[in-house]
């Protein structure tokens, strides 16, 4: 395994982070335990979860993933050996079963306390805001279209003051954002600098061969401000394994169970995936490992969040840490990207 530190900290994390959003839905608790055991044994010391998980989010299974992780900590006594990240759910109809008061002081305090109980721990290493409260282009929306009727009011300072209180209490160590855009990221950093408030040290956004929009304004912010990307969906919901275009996806594959998650299933995405598969085959590697290695070696990347529904997938994904793509592979990837840029925004 390869390691780095979370920006602006001395917290050592593996460059591969274990994603958990399938546990409690596509995976049982026992399977979640097996994945944590394997990842931990292979040097992965960074786990990412959220109160929202498992996905798709439902009231019936709300926060079951955190409970599974808490039970594993209780069983293994490995809490102090794992860097644990979780998130408060953003606002909207999708999360109305969780709470409806956004990132208010009451919401943040309640969310942290409830996560701590489920995770069976007294601290969270990295606490993240799952997505912005304001209306902006997240989750596959390509361009920003301003809504003058958006009722959101600027509350960056208020949020950071609340997080500062929670941090001072010892319940969280560091804070980060997720699914955030350039303007929101810089507003958080501006408030932190101006008022000596906790600094957002990571940003968890989608990044993969099919979605490289982070390489625009966000990559410059990440590098110049030292706010590290935690890349999610590096496999594009499993599309970049090649299993869908090969017709070998298992019955419990994500897009078979939940076809409404079509972000990475456009005609352009399918064509790009076919071309990337050919590159991988020409260089004697699997598409999955090429896709993951590409993400891991980006200069703005802090950790690559992998997820799997089987132990075999997890082994292959973790082993991608041992692959470094050479110039021939990278040039071939750029050729495809130039012809089919960001087919999945």
Phi, psi dihedral angles at 78 (to 5 degrees): -100, 10
Catalytic residue among 3, 53, 264, 276: 53
Active site includes 276?
no
Cα–Cα distance, 293 to 274 (Å, whole number):
18
Residue 311 tokens read as 């132990």
Sign of dihedral through CA atoms 191, 194, 198, 200? positive
Burial of residue 291, with CB atoms counted within 10 A of its CB: 0-12 exposed, 13-18 middle, 19 or more buried? buried
Which residues, at least 6 apart from 234, have a Cβ–Cβ distance to it below 8 Å?
207, 208, 240, 291, 292, 295, 304, 305, 306
Catalytic residue numbers read 53
């Amino acid at each position: 395994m390869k390691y780095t530190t979370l920006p602006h900290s001395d917290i050592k994390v593996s460059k591969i982070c274990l994603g958990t959003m399938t546990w409690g839905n596509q995976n049982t608790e026992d399977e979640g335990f097996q994945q944590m055991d394997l990842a931990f044994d292979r040097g992965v010391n960074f786990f990412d979860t959220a109160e929202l998980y498992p996905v798709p989010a439902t009231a019936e299974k709300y926060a079951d993933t955190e409970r599974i992780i808490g039970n594993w900590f209780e069983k293994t006594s490995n809490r102090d050996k794992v860097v644990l990240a979780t998130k408060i759910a953003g606002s909207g109809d999708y999360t109305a079963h969780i709470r409806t008061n956004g990132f208010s002081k009451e919401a943040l305090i309640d969310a942290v306390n409830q996560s701590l109980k489920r995770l069976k721990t007294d601290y969270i290493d990295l606490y993240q805001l799952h997505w912005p409260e304001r209306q902006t282009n997240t989750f596959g929306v390509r361009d920003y279209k301003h809504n003058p009727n958006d009722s959101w009011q600027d509350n960056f300072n208020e949020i950071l003051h609340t997080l500062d209180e929670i941090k001072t209490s010892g319940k969280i160590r560091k804070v980060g954002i997720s699914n955030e855009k350039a303007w929101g990221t810089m507003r958080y950093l501006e408030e932190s600098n101006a008022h000596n408030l906790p600094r957002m040290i990571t940003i968890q956004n989608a990044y993969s061969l099919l979605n490289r929009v982070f390489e625009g304004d966000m990559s410059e912010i990440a590098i110049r401000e030292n706010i590290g990307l935690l890349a999610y969906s590096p496999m594009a919901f499993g599309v970049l394994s090649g299993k869908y275009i090969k017709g070998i996806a298992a019955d419990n594959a994500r897009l078979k169970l939940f076809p409404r998650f079509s972000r990475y299933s456009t005609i352009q995405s399918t064509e790009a995936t076919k071309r990337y598969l050919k590159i991988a085959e020409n260089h004697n590697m699997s598409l999955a490992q090429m896709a993951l290695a590409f993400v891991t070696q980006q200069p703005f990347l802090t950790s690559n969040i992998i997820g799997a529904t089987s132990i075999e997938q997890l082994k292959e994904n973790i082993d991608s840490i041992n692959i470094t793509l050479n110039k021939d592979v990278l040039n071939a990837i750029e050729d495809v990207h130039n012809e089919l840029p960001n087919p999945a925004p």
